[in-house]
Amino acid sequence: MPENDLMDKIVSLCKRRGFVFPGSEIYGGLANSWDYGPLGHLLKQNIKSLWWKFFVQEREDMVPLDSAIIMNPKAWEASGHLQNFSDELVECKKCHHRFRSDQLPKRKKCSDCGGALTAPKSFNLMFKTFLGTTEDTATTAYLRPETAGGMFVNFKNIVNTTRRRLPFGIAQIGKCFRNEITPGNFIFRTREFEIGELEYFIKPDEWEKVFEMWLSEIKRWWKDAMQVNTDNLVWREIPDNERAHYSKRTVDIEYKYPFGTQELHGIAYRTDFDLSRHEAVSGQDLHYTDPETGEKFLPHVIEPTFGIDRTLLVCLLEAYHEEQAPTAEKGETETRVVMKFPKHLAPVQVAVLPLSKKENLAKVAKEVAAALRADFAVDYDDTQSIGKRYRRQDEIGTPYCVTVDFDSLEDKKITVRDRDTMKQNRVAIKDLSNYLKEKFV
Ligand code: GAP
């Protein structure tokens, strides 16, 4: 399939089935803004829960945090974002389109109309807002461009309240905002997005070993937890001149998207840059005292960061399959679109489909669905033909469909259809929940 066709198909499936809608659509939309619909919300929630389980719950060295989006602006002065968090912007003198100068293939001409470009100027990506009722510099505040700041300014609070010893990490998932010059490629680059971020505090001389430990955890995340085809991942060591102002080593984990190989997420060695800057600007002592040696020092930090929306995009791209499948007519086939999400990420886990809307059948089907809801995300669908309902469930990636037919009234059994093999099994209603539980482990 031509590669951009795949993006078009994903965007269209997402809208058609309620994964992702264009933002503010009834007002003609808002460029590059997207809303997660019912299934998109569930998929994102499943990704975030898995991330949390993998990187926080299953580890003994992590603590959670949920810090404010709007911080004291001095925090952004300290972190260097006010001075350094910018891209170079050029504008076409003819059509007035604006570009990031590093993204223009021919830097001297506008890629839309060929017009001459202005000299590059620095454009800070932080969204400005005003606190209170007057809009002046005294009340200027910023929407956070990363969640890291909240974790650094709470470092002391966390050490004091949790009695944690090094090494330990702070984790949070949250919304971030960047006034991107060139957002695009669906949910790949937007102005409002979510990240899952870890700040892992260590003794300075341990950074190389800990960096490698996190690289192997990240590999495990993509292979075992997200079940991504790791051939689609590229590990890129970022050279000195491309690294963020705070980083001494960065590895970007890139993905082979249909629109090119680009960043999925990254890991950085932030040294003691942040704690030392916050100490200098706030005047507070942020040193850590080693309880064994009594030595006082500023911990260093390894920071694995994950874009949740890009993770979701990768999940959609990996799941999308088109296959030839038999139709109801003997010997005929049709194209079946099936989202082969890993079962534990599927937004709907089980669909209950009564073969007819007749009352006696509906009663049993509703009882089956109600019982399953205790353990699974369940969809109940009694519209259209059974073939169409199977196709719909395939398109939203439901691993199992449970069909209730007239025989069910007699033999107290239902049919379970497997999304990937399309094989069907007759299972006793009383055994159904356990049968499905075994499929999800
Ligand atoms: N604290 C480090 C940090 O924020 P970053 O590489 O600037 O690092 C982290 O951003 C991750 O956030 C990226 O790797 C990417 O996955 C995601 N991300 C960054 N900008 C984004 C945008 N405009 N839209 C969607 N995701 C974005």
- The verdict on 133 and 23 lying in the same domain is yes
Q: Is the CB of 262 under 6 A from ligand 1?
A: no
pLDDT at 355 over 70: yes
What percentage of the chain exceeds 70 in pLDDT? 98
Domain hosting 118: range is: 86-122
Q: What is the pLDDT of residue 138?
A: 79
CATH number of the domain enclosing 429? 3.40.50.800
Tens digit of each residue's pLDDT (9 = 90 or more) over 33-90: 999 999 999 999 999 999 999 999 999 999 999 999 999 999 999 999 999 888 888 8
* Side chain identity at residue 154, one-letter code: N
Q: Is the CB of 265 under 6 A from ligand 1?
A: yes
- The verdict on 375 and 260 lying in the same domain is no
- Mean pLDDT along residues 122-151: 91
Q: Which of 87-91, 292-296, 368-372 has the lowest mean pLDDT?
A: 87-91
Q: What is the pLDDT of residue 2?
A: 61
Answer whether residue 293 is part of any domain.
Answer: yes
Banded model confidence at residue 106, pLDDT cuts 50, 70, 90:
low
Ligand 1 atom with minimal separation from the 305 CA? 9
Q: Whose CA is nearest to atom 8 of ligand 1?
A: 305
- The verdict on 208 and 354 lying in the same domain is no
- Produce one character per residue of 251-286: b if its CB has 16 or more CB atoms within 10 Å, e if not: bbbbbbbbeeeebbbbbbbbbbbbbebbbeeeeeeb
Q: Which of 322, 323, 421, 312 is nearest to 14 (CA)?
A: 312
C-alpha–C-alpha distance, residues 202 and 206, integer Å? 7
Banded model confidence at residue 136, pLDDT cuts 50, 70, 90:
confident
Q: Is the CB of 323 under 6 A from ligand 1?
A: no
- The verdict on 296 and 354 lying in the same domain is no
- The verdict on 208 and 272 lying in the same domain is yes
| 316 Cα to the center of ligand 1, angstroms | 19
Q: Is the CB of 178 under 6 A from ligand 1?
A: yes
| 126 Cα to the center of ligand 1, angstroms | 13
Q: Whose CA is nearest to atom 20 of ligand 1?
A: 189
- The verdict on 255 and 160 lying in the same domain is yes
Answer whether residue 335 is part of any domain.
Answer: no
**How many structural domains does the chain have?**
3
Q: Is the CB of 349 under 6 A from ligand 1?
A: no
pLDDT at 135 over 90: no
- The verdict on 229 and 116 lying in the same domain is no
Banded model confidence at residue 415, pLDDT cuts 50, 70, 90:
very high
| 266 Cα to the center of ligand 1, angstroms | 8
Of 34, 191, 193, the one to substitute when testing ligand 1's pocket (max ligand atoms within 8 A of C-beta) is 193
pTM of the entire predicted model: 0.95
| 312 Cα to the center of ligand 1, angstroms | 13
Q: Contact, 176 vs 146, CB < 8 A?
A: yes
- The verdict on 250 and 103 lying in the same domain is no
- The verdict on 220 and 362 lying in the same domain is no
Answer whether residue 196 is part of any domain.
Answer: yes
Q: What is the pLDDT of residue 123?
A: 86
| 253 Cα to the center of ligand 1, angstroms | 12
Answer whether residue 278 is part of any domain.
Answer: yes
- The verdict on 366 and 392 lying in the same domain is yes
Answer whether residue 80 is part of any domain.
Answer: no
Tens digit of each residue's pLDDT (9 = 90 or more) over 294-347: 999 999 999 999 999 999 999 999 999 999 988 867 788 989 999 999 999 999
Higher pLDDT, 182 or 308: 308
Q: What is the pLDDT of residue 1?
A: 62
CATH number of the domain enclosing 217? 3.30.930.10
Ligand 1 atom with minimal separation from the 191 CA? 23
Answer whether residue 378 is part of any domain.
Answer: yes
- The verdict on 15 and 92 lying in the same domain is no
Tens digit of each residue's pLDDT (9 = 90 or more) over 184-243: 999 999 999 999 999 999 999 999 999 999 999 999 999 999 999 999 999 999 999 999
Q: CB burial class (10 A; 0-12, 13-18, 19+) of residue 344?
A: middle
Ligand 1 atom with minimal separation from the 307 CA? 16
- The verdict on 205 and 60 lying in the same domain is yes
Answer whether residue 341 is part of any domain.
Answer: no
Banded model confidence at residue 104, pLDDT cuts 50, 70, 90:
confident
Q: Whose CA is nearest to atom 7 of ligand 1?
A: 146
- Mean pLDDT along residues 237-250: 94
Higher pLDDT, 88 or 365: 365
pLDDT at 107 over 70: no
pLDDT at 3 over 70: no
Tens digit of each residue's pLDDT (9 = 90 or more) over 387-400: 999 999 999 999 99
Answer whether residue 115 is part of any domain.
Answer: yes
Q: Is the CB of 254 under 6 A from ligand 1?
A: no
**Look-up: residue for tokens 């699974």?**
376
Max avg pLDDT among 121-125, 130-134, 162-166, 325-329: 162-166
Mean predicted lDDT score pLDDT of the chain = 95
Q: Is the CB of 394 under 6 A from ligand 1?
A: no
Q: CB burial class (10 A; 0-12, 13-18, 19+) of residue 244?
A: middle
What percentage of the chain exceeds 90 in pLDDT? 84
